[in-house]
Amino acid sequence: MGVSVFAKYRVITLEYNMKSLLSEQEQEIKTTDYTILVDIYKNLGYCYMRKTEYEQSIQYLLKSLEIKEKYFPNDQLEVARLNNDIGFCYLKMNTNDLSLNYYNKAPVETYEKEGSID
């Protein structure tokens, strides 16, 4: 009797550990996927920005920003950069109110704190 209880406990423990490990791996994959999505959307936004297609650029930069804020809220430097880039696009489109709105979301203090500017 004692051995079978021990064996069942061991099997349950192994199953739990495997499920826990699988859950961690799934989370890593999801995080990696979101990281890749952020970069893809951001790079598409930059491509359209270089082509001076600012409306398209804004669409992709906003997608990148949305994912970044949702899944990586502690990456304030990247969030500030994306807001700054969106503000730049709106400025180029002579939409000054929207431009100012996004520029204000990218305060200089964020760049200074992260050591990005002197």
Query: How large is the angle between the packed helices 2-50 and 54-71, nearest 10 degrees?
Result: 160
DSSP state at residue 116: S
Torsion of CA 39, 89, 53, 64, to 10 degrees: 20
Write the Ramachandran bin of 52: left for phi over 0, alpha for psi from -120 to 50, otherwise beta.
left
pLDDT in the model for residue 18: 62
Tell me the longest C-alpha to C-alpha distance in the chain.
80
Which amino acid is it at 53?
E
Q: Helix 2-50 to helix 76-92 angle, to the nearest 10 degrees? A: 30
CATH 3.20.20.80 is the classification of domain 2-114: no
- Ranking 4-8, 35-39, 77-81 by mean pLDDT, the lowest is 4-8
Instruction: Indicate whether 111 pLDDT > 70.
Output: no
Q: Above 80 in pLDDT, residue 11? A: no
Provide the pLDDT for residue 118. 42
Position 27 pLDDT exceeds 80: no
Q: Given pLDDT bands bounded at 50, 70 and 90, which one contains residue 19?
A: low
pLDDT digits (tens, 9 = 90+) for 75-101: 999 999 999 999 999 999 999 999 999
Q: What is the mean pLDDT of residues 69-73?
A: 93
User: What's the one-letter identity of residue 22?
Assistant: L
Q: Is the pLDDT score of 29 beyond 80?
A: no
Phi, psi of 94 (to 5 degrees): 60, 35
